[in-house]
Structure 1
Amino acid sequence: MGTRKIPMRKDILTEKMFPKREMVRIVRDKEGNISIDPTGKKSGRGAYVGLDPDAIKEAKSKKVLEKVFSKKVSPDFYDELFDFVDHQKARMDLFGDLGKKH
């Protein structure tokens, strides 16, 4: 068996490419609701952010998600995203890739 290709995605906050498994997907559904997609399978317009809590803080001040999704995003969503990313980063640092499905 050959080596498997690792899916890469662009971080909308830093413009850098990262493995999909090391990112968090945010999705806007048909109704216009924006939410975190931990499974990566929700239908709708998706965008990816890396596991960098500082980038989330900066995105909140620059209103990056509003530009990406062409919709107003509440400050509470940025706080929720920050907490989720911070938790995922801590988990990745602690367990490596063990917490993810293979």
Structure 2
Amino acid sequence: MKKRKIPMRKDIVTGEMAPKKELVRIVRDSEGNVSIDETGKKSGRGAYISINVDIAKKAKEEHVFEKVFSTQIDGDFYDDLIAYVDHKQARKELFENGQ
């Protein structure tokens, strides 16, 4: 059986490469709106961040997405991102331990 290639992406906060499924995609659309891309298929410029609350908090402190997307981002976006990453991290830990 042929081994499948695992797509890798770079976490913009840490600079580490990781499998795409272990990252969250953040996208800036053509109007300049920045949002969390839950499906990974929204059109626009994308950037990835690890499913780790500490890394999401570091992104907020350093205003990483403002630098990457060259746009002003509301502070509520970072709060939503931290909550989303926290939820994904909890689900990941729950289902990994449940197997």
**What band does the TM-score fall into relative to the shorter chain?**
over 0.9
TM-score (norm 2): 0.94
Distance 1:30 1:10 in 2: 22
* Cα distance in structure 1, aligned partners of 2:75 and 2:22: 24
Please report the TM-score for the alignment, with normalisation by the length of structure 1: 0.91
CA distance in 2, matches of 1:22, 1:60: 19
The answer as to 2:39 corresponding to 1:55 is: no
Q: Which runs of 5+ in 1 are unaligned?
A: 97-102
Report the counterpart of residue 26 of structure 2 in structure 1. Answer: 26
Q: How far apart in 2 are the matches of 1:57 and 1:73?
A: 15
Ranges of 4+ aligned residues in structure 1 off by more than 4 Å: none
Aligned CA RMSD, in angstroms, stands at: 1.2
Aligned residues: 97
Percent of counterpart pairs with the same letter?
61
Query: What are the equivalent positions in structure 2 for 1:78-93 lying under 5 Å apart?
Result: 78-93=78-93
